[in-house]
Structure 1
């Protein structure tokens, strides 16, 4: 009897707007990858608590734009409001941006309750996916914390880092900077157009499928 083939598990880290989501979408389109995110649960919970759509929360154009619907007094989860108030200086009425609310929800609220809250949720989804016999590549394109990277490694996965010139800035929020401490197996330098990125992603995915882990290498 032959054992079932386990899926490739690939985590992608790097600064914001370097091409991580695009890389995941390319793998979804060209190798039928199953795209997941540690932030999936954050979006779902925030959307429910504020009665807004996940699409609006995830819109890149509106991510930093304050919205009246995201003022804290519109939130039905009072425990979140209490957790956010010190950071909001007690202001319940000021419109907040999706990025601000998502960061507070992810870190100041849920991770303050349990540092592995989002990791455990994602682990459950991966385990459930594999238990059903699914073998499609799993891609998680928002690996920003050490615990998230550790989960992928523990599951036998690989970490890619994507770098793009001009997107090296650091931000004040801890979630945005912790990824700098993650040791990637492969660094992809996104220095061209989407065709260049597609070539990089698909070439190294095929190498990963054929040969297994990379060992701290660079690819341009």
Structure 2
């Protein structure tokens, strides 16, 4: 289930977006200003941020600038929400690092469609929601995983872990980072939890030979290669 953080100071808009995202099978976190958004980001890593430009005390564009300088969160996709339709503001938001831009008022179906499109691009998925590496494919819409055309049965945690690694191929993540990204809503998980899930994931992928895509980088953590034996 995609997790979306909405940073918006108007309660009616938060309620409308929460209802739309719930119907679309997405979880919504919310914050009324930049300070609250930073508190949420300290404990959860959303899959996407909906960020209002005009916020009390500090603007959304300033939060976006900080996010793009944050090594651990700079890759979270951001869609700007704003009542300002001038081209200059749109260009500024995109130049700072926004992935898309929606002008208020917007319809719930348009918002959900934009979110799904940005999530597909961010994860490297094609138009049908498929992410792949070697003989391994994951469908972000149906949550189905296949290795060499054989269906792979995964538990929810192993699915989230595989989806995250597939979305960031060739990048090494420490156990602590994976806990933040994959287990962000769990209560004080331990680093060995990651090792257990990696073993379960490899075991599930082994019959089709896809377990070799997941690499252990000694002293650093884990990564997923685009092909078996990859660097």
* TM-score, normalising length: structure 1: 0.33
Higher relative contact order (CA 8 A, sep 6+): 1
* TM-score, normalising length: structure 2: 0.32
| Structure with more strand by fraction | 2
